[in-house]
């Protein structure tokens, strides 16, 4: 990968990296399009990273669609696709060096998925070292991941600019996700309530409420009325360290995770 990139950047070309786990949808392709606007060389990695999956998570059944991914990436102007095997990335060594995330990795997604963010940050650090991009592009859909990557880049002095891209949605508001394919017809019918809940919480802020509990209640009421979700959390956070502000302010976000028909969905909206 480094040898190929050396050739591609011999004339000083700017490199963007779009890290993905494949099963690409329009949300990923929006990241590739954004990368192509700011860089000459767009490198896309496709790697289902075992380190970020817990023992009872969906590593084995995580969707893998390399042929259609490659075709879509060619169409969207990706220059080079990096699709390593787990063996190539980690070898057989089980005692390895990893990234220890900052404390807010233990909150929210981290509390439900212990070790997940250490796995994400470790693979992202490896990808940054392999590709050495000028800019790396991530979606706002995984907001806690984005904030943790920003923190890692600042704390460990990675010479890379992080670019964040808005979530792409279906016309009914459901955020695109590779896991949406797990939704059966009934779950799919209810799923847009997740975004509707976030919009309702934001509406409460837009109408003048700055009380976090009142804003969160407006969102939770939508999910309670829908009745199909088991809510893990719906909470106001600041994007820097995911602390819950005592007074809501523009720039804070509401993040939600909820289960529907055996599938866990996450989403967020910024005030």
Smallest separation, CB 32 to ligand PAF (Å): 13
Tokens of 42: 């767009």
On whether the CB atoms of residues 177 and 27 are closer than 8 A, the answer is: yes
d(C-alpha 248, C-alpha 194), whole Å: 20
**Is 144 one of the binding residues for ligand PAF (CB under 6 A)?**
no
On whether the CB atoms of residues 167 and 140 are closer than 8 A, the answer is: yes
Based on DSSP, count helices (H) and strands (E) in the chain, helices before strands: 10, 8
d(C-alpha 101, C-alpha 167), whole Å: 24
Smallest separation, CB 140 to ligand PAF (Å): 11
R_g (Cα) of the chain, nearest Å: 19
Considering beta carbons, is residue 21 or 197 the nearer one to ligand PAF?
Answer: 21
**Is 19 one of the binding residues for ligand PAF (CB under 6 A)?**
yes
Residue identified by tokens 């955020």 is: 175
Considering beta carbons, is residue 126 or 195 the nearer one to ligand PAF?
Answer: 126
H or E stretch covering 72: helix 66-75
**Interaxial angle between packed helices 212-226 and 193-206, expressed in degrees from 0 to 180 and rounded to the nearest 10:** 150
Smallest separation, CB 49 to ligand PAF (Å): 4
**Is 58 one of the binding residues for ligand PAF (CB under 6 A)?**
no
Considering beta carbons, is residue 17 or 234 the nearer one to ligand PAF?
Answer: 17
Q: Please identify, among the stretches 60-68, 116-124, 168-176, 218-226, the one whose residues bind ligand PAF according to the rule CB under 6 A.
A: 116-124
d(C-alpha 267, C-alpha 221), whole Å: 16
Q: Which of residues 119-138 bind ligand PAF (CB under 6 A)?
A: 120, 123-124
DSSP helix/strand/coil, 263? strand
Smallest separation, CB 179 to ligand PAF (Å): 11
**Is 18 one of the binding residues for ligand PAF (CB under 6 A)?**
no
Considering beta carbons, is residue 167 or 200 the nearer one to ligand PAF?
Answer: 167
d(C-alpha 82, C-alpha 16), whole Å: 13
Residues 6+ apart with CB under 8 A from 171: none
Of residues 5, 15, 17, 20, which one binds ligand PAF by CB under 6 A? 20
**Is 49 one of the binding residues for ligand PAF (CB under 6 A)?**
yes
- Note if 116 is an active site residue: no
Residue in 28, 76, 116, 195 annotated catalytic: 28
Q: How many residues bind ligand PAF (CB under 6 A)?
A: 10
The footprint of ligand PAF (CB under 6 A) covers 19-21, 49, 52, 120, 123-124, 142, 145
Give the residue numbers annotated as catalytic, written as ranges. Answer: 28
């Amino acid at each position: 990968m480094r040898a190929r990139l050396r050739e591609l950047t011999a004339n000083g070309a700017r490199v963007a990296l779009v890290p993905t786990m494949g099963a690409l949808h329009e949300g990923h392709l929006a990241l590739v399009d954004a990368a192509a606007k700011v860089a000459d060389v767009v490198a896309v990695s496709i790697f289902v990273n075992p380190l970020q999956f817990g023992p009872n998570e969906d590593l084995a059944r995580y969707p893998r669609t390399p042929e259609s991914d490659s075709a879509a990436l060619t169409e969207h102007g990706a220059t080079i696709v990096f699709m390593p095997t787990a063996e190539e990335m980690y070898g057989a060594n089980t005692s390895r060096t990893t990234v220890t995330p900052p404390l807010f990795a233990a909150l929210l997604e981290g509390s439900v998925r212990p070790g997940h963010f250490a796995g994400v940050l470790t693979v992202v650090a490896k990808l940054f070292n392999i590709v050495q991009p000028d800019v790396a592009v991530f979606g706002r859909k995984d907001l806690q991941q984005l904030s943790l990557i920003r923190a890692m880049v600042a704390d460990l002095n990675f010479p890379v600019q992080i670019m964040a891209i808005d979530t792409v949605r279906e016309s009914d508001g459901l955020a695109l996700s590779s896991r949406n394919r797990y939704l059966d017809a009934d779950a799919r019918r209810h799923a847009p309530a997740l975004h509707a809940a976030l919009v309702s919480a934001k509406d409460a802020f837009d109408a003048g409420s700055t009380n976090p509990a009142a804003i969160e209640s407006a969102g939770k009421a939508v999910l309670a009325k829908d009745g199909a979700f088991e809510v893990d959390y719906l909470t106001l956070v600041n994007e820097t360290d995911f602390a819950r502000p005592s007074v809501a302010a523009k720039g804070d976000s509401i993040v939600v995770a909820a289960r529907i028909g055996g599938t866990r969905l996450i989403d967020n909206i910024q005030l």
